Amino acid sequence: MMVGVDADLEWQLNSTLSIGPWPVHVSTDASQAQLRDLDSLEDLRDIHNWDPMFTLRFPDGMTRDVAVSRPDDDGSFTLIDADAAAAIEAAATSDQDPNGLLPEPADVASATVWLHEHGFATREHSRGGKLSGSRLFERSDGWRARYSCVLGTWSLELSPPEHHRFTSLHRLCRDKKPAWRDALPTLIGDPPHRIDTL
């Protein structure tokens, strides 16, 4: 485990209502954190899909508003100070889609086309800011795929039928360019138990 301090991560709906806390361990420079209980990973990811902005509450009572990257399967994630996150979003106004949707990079768009061509339908398309959002795809045989973006960093997760949880996949590189599209036929074609080995 990283050197640092323990804290609680909360998602604030308003000044009187919050969701959480999720006990976390925060690095000494407060740039990384890790869930202390992996059983709460899916709950944190579900809230993260709505909005990546959270509050860290330290034992001494101090708080810090942060943007949280999509938590990895081991419960680790990056923290960005809320003011820095707001500055990043403000600088990205020119990248916004005219329909108000998050612009997707070429490899995300080509993987989306593949998913649609292979029976997946878009079930949710949400946006939590100019550089944050998610997209959920489902297929009639039970397969689910989800893209998430936090401050411009994309992740892909897959959930085979009867699996009931998502597995995060890092971007694969082809000719030094990320390419999820090339991996999808193999990943979706694998039996559900094989995805855990990725």
- What distance in Å separates the CA atoms of residue 144 and residue 190, rounded to the nearest whole number? 14
What is the C-alpha end-to-end distance of the chain, expressed in Å?
Answer: 22
Residues contacting 22, CB < 8 A, separation 6+: 8, 9, 10, 35, 37, 40, 43, 44
pLDDT at 78 over 80: yes
How many percent of the chain have pLDDT more than 70? 69
**DSSP label at residue 151:** T
- What distance in Å separates the CA atoms of residue 141 and residue 55, rounded to the nearest whole number? 38
User: What's the rounded mean pLDDT across residues 152-165?
Assistant: 78
Mean residue pLDDT across the chain: 75
Closest CA to 21 of 76, 74, 78, 59: 59
pLDDT at 197 over 70: no
> Given 3-state DSSP classes, what are the helix, strand and coil percentages for the chain, each rounded to the nearest 5?
25, 40, 35
pLDDT tens track for 84-130: 655 555 544 444 444 444 556 667 777 888 888 888 888 877 665 55
- Statement: 4-82 belongs to CATH 2.30.30: no
Looking at domain 95-190, its CATH architecture is: Roll (3.10)
Closest CA to 32 of 74, 63, 91, 86: 74
User: What's the rounded mean pLDDT across residues 7-19?
Assistant: 84
- Decide which of 174 and 120 is more confident: 120
The amino acid at 181: R
pLDDT for residue 132: 67
Domain boundaries, given as residue ranges, for the chain? 4-82, 95-190
pLDDT tens track for 42-66: 888 888 877 788 889 989 988 888 8
pLDDT at 191 over 80: no
Strand (E) or helix (H) holding 95: none
